[in-house]
Amino acid sequence: MNIFNIAIMEFKRTIRDHRTLLFMLAFPIVLMLILGTALSNVFDNTIKIDKIHVLYTEKNDSHISSAFHTFIKDVKRENMYFSNTSASIDGKRAVKQDEYDAYVEITDQGIQFYGSERESMKSSIVEGMLTAFTDRYNLISNIAKEKPNKVQTVMASSGGSYVKETSLQADRAPGSMDYYAMAMTTMIAMYSAISASFLIRSERIRNTAIRLAVAPIRKMEIFLGKILGSIAINFVCILIVMAFSQFAFGANWGSNPGMVILILFTEVFLAVSFGLGISYMIKSDQGTRTIIMIILQLASFFGGAYFKIGNAQGFLKLIIDLSPINWAREALTKMIYNNDLTAALQTAALNVGIALVFLIAAITAFRKREGL
Average pLDDT of adjacent 10-residue blocks, the chain of 372 residues: 80 81 88 84 62 78 69 77 73 78 77 76 78 75 63 52 49 78 93 85 66 69 86 93 92 90 94 90 82 91 84 82 91 88 91 94 81 58
- What range defines the domain where residue 81 resides? 52-158
Residue 137's closest CA among 162, 101, 163? 162
Q: Render 74-120 in DSSP notation, one character per residue.
A: HHGGGTEEEEE--TTS-HHHHHHTTS-SEEEEEETTEEEEEE-STTH
Give the residue from 107, 133, 158 where a domain finishes: 158
Q: Rg for the chain (alpha carbons), in Å?
A: 32
Alpha-carbon span 285 to 363, nearest angstrom: 19
Same domain, 75 and 109: yes
Tell me what pLDDT residue 263 has: 94
Domain count, the chain: 2
Give the residue from 158, 190, 218 where a domain finishes: 158
Tell me what pLDDT residue 220 has: 80
Tell me what pLDDT residue 107 has: 74
Which residues, in sequence order, are CB contacts of 122 under 8 Å at separation 6+?
Answer: 49, 52, 101, 102, 116
Distances (CA, A) of 14 to 57, 131, 155, 186, 232: 78, 69, 74, 20, 10
Residue 76's closest CA among 160, 164, 166? 160
Strand 52-58's sheet: what is its strand order? 80-84, 52-58, 102-107, 110-115
Same domain, 202 and 339: yes
Q: At what angle do helices 18-38 and 219-249 cross, to 10 degrees?
A: 30
- Which residues lie across from 190 on neighbouring strands? none
Tell me what pLDDT residue 147 has: 62
Question: Quick check: is 163 in a domain?
Answer: no
Question: Quick check: is 46 in a domain?
Answer: no
Please tell me the total number of residues recorded for the chain in this structure: 372
Alpha-carbon span 242 to 184, nearest angstrom: 9
Same domain, 57 and 23: no
Same domain, 281 and 199: yes
Whole-prediction pTM = 0.67
Tell me what pLDDT residue 45 has: 56
Tell me what pLDDT residue 54 has: 82
Tell me what pLDDT residue 167 has: 46
